[in-house]
Every structure is written in C-alpha cells, then in structure tokens.
Amino acid sequence: MAAERKVYAFIHHEFVPLAEAYLHISDLAIQRGYGIFDYFWIQHGQPLFLEDYLNRFYQSADLMQLPVPLEREALREKVLELIRLNNFPLSGMKLLLTGGYSEGGYEPGTPNLVLIEQAVEYPEQENVEKGIKIITHQYQRELPAAKTINYNMGIRLIGQIREKGAQDVLYHQHGIITEFPRSNFFIVKQDNTIATPAHEVLKGVTRKNVLELASATYATEEGDITLDDVLQAKEAFQTSTTKRIVPIVQVNDTLIGTGRPGPVTLALLEQLEALEQQYLAQYK
C-alpha cells in the first residue's frame, strides 16, 4: 500500500501541509466574501497556459483593488516550487488572494495570498459522449471581468439544477446569454459560425484557446447571443479549464440540434487536446 501522500499549500509566505493551512477569522474573505482567485491545470509538472492565468489573476486583483504581495516573477517561482513539492501526475492549482486580516472587518488589510494544489482527474468521458442538459437563469455576475470568489448564486442553484436533472446553469440577462457560473458558452450556428458572448462575461483562457482554434476553420463571432439563438443553434458547448469542452444537447426542455454531441464540438475538443500537448511539448 502506498504511503499517504503529504500535500503542501503556500500560505503566510511559506509552504505548509494543506491540512494545516488556516486563515484567521478576521480575514475579509470570511468576514465579507472579499477576494479573487484563479485556477489552472498542471500536467506532469507543467502548468498549462500559466502566463494567461497569471495575467488574469493580476487583472482581477487590480479590479478589486487588492495588491498582490508577490511580483509576477516571484509568484511564478512559488507556483513552480509548490508543483515540485507536491509532484502530482495531474493537478489543479488555485491562486487565492483575500482582502486580508481586517481589524474593523470591513476595510481591506494586507491581502493574504494562498496557493492550493490538489489532484484532479480528466473530465468525465460520459459527458463528452452523451452531452449534458443545462437550465437557464436570469442573473448578472457583479464585476464580470474579475474572477472574484463570489459564487452565491451558482451555489444556491445547485439544488435546482439537480431537481431538473440538469448539470449546469446558464446565466442570461433579459434573454441575452452571458456565461455559466464557472464556464463560458458557445454555439455553432446553422452556417457553422462559432459564436460566444462578448459582454459581461469572464474571459476564460479555454474560451480564448477555442476561439483561436476555431478561427482556423470557421467564422467566429464574439457578440450578443439570445436565448432564441441558442434554441436555433446546430450545436452548443461549454468551455472551462477543468472541463475543456463539453457538448450541450438540451437547454431547459429543448433539444439542441440532433440532441447529440455535434461534429464541430467534438473536432474542437480534439484540437484543444492537441493544443495542450503542443504547449507541453515545448517544455520537454
């Protein structure tokens, strides 16, 4: 039997066992839900598209007026050091920046930077093979360009998603689609144009990669997509760091296209996996 693996985290400027990584309750994340984060995958010791994630992490911090206590170069080093320490074959790492310890419990203090790495598994093949059902909900994330820790709405909707036999919830504002709580949204139009919402969404790194891949073969559009556009689409899918590309075959009570994962979606997923391997190959 394998010895139990000791997992480390980075907190309070040092590496400690994850099980011992605590924040005092005066932290503004606990007091006021104030913080930002980002999250990326690591394959065989190599973080995927790290610079894109670091860009967004610093951008979110800036939008929430939280100074990151480490310069980018120093942060990258801590990321790589934690990867070496934990030595997972496949993992995800969260960079978390909170409002810090706040005496009055309202004004930000010195932000606390926390790095958490955990083993992950590749996305469920079943979802790719069968596609998923989603429901829709009217809601606009606050400050969508920042990856804040506020997931109140998404978490409250977990029960409703399950009740409807669905696997995720797509937000819209008065019929204009935006995003999922943790993923971006795409459709393949009848003319094979690949379209994704442009406004009031978090610009995902996978979203960016998919747009680039798609543009080699198809017309691509970043713009407003209505609920009606979705129901008329040939294919639909979601993109995220953890899920890559997942085909969507049903929205509320309506089947999309044939009601099965479509060829454009599946081809893009293959290309995305190839892009990951190509990215990793440059570090070998």
Contact call for residue 94 and its own copies (CB under 8 A)? yes
Selected binder of its own copies within 7, 27, 196, 261 (CB under 8 A): 27
| Token pair belonging to 69 | 């206590």
Contacts of 216 (CB under 8 A, 6+ apart): none
Does the footprint of its own copies cover residue 42 (CB under 8 A)? no
Nearer to its own copies, 62 or 71 (CB): 62
- 32 lies in the site for its own copies, by CB under 8 A: yes
Which residues from 188-227 bind its own copies, rule CB under 8 A? none
Cβ(127)–Cβ(53) under 8 Å? no
Which residues does residue 96 pair with via DSSP β-bridges, in sequence order? 37, 114
> β-strand 168-173 against 132-138: which pairing, if any?
parallel
Question: Residue 43, interface with its own copies (CB under 8 A)?
Answer: no
Nearest residue to 120 (alpha-carbon basis) of 151, 96, 88, 94: 88
- State the pairing for strand pair 176-177/168-173: antiparallel
Q: In terms of CB distance, is 44 or 199 closer to its own copies? A: 199
Choosing from 45, 105, 109, 144, the residue that interacts with its own copies (CB under 8 A) is 105
**Residues 64-83, interacting with its own copies (CB under 8 A):** 64-65
Q: How far apart are CA 102 and CA 187, in angstroms?
A: 44
Give yes or no for residue 86 binding its own copies (CB under 8 A).
no
Residue 153, H or E segment: helix 152-156
111 contributes a contact to its own copies by CB under 8 A: no
Binding mask 124-163 for its own copies (x = CB under 8 A): ------------------xx----xxxxxxxxx-xx----
The alpha carbon of 176 is separated from its chain's Cα centroid by a whole number of angstroms, namely 21
Span near its own copies by CB under 8 A; candidates 16-24, 45-53, 79-87, 194-202: 16-24
Question: Nearest-CA neighbor of 136 among 227, 10, 48?
Answer: 227
SS3 category, 43: strand
Residues that bind its own copies (CB under 8 A): 9, 11, 19, 21-25, 27-35, 64-65, 94, 96, 98-99, 105-108, 114, 116, 142-143, 148-156, 158-159, 182
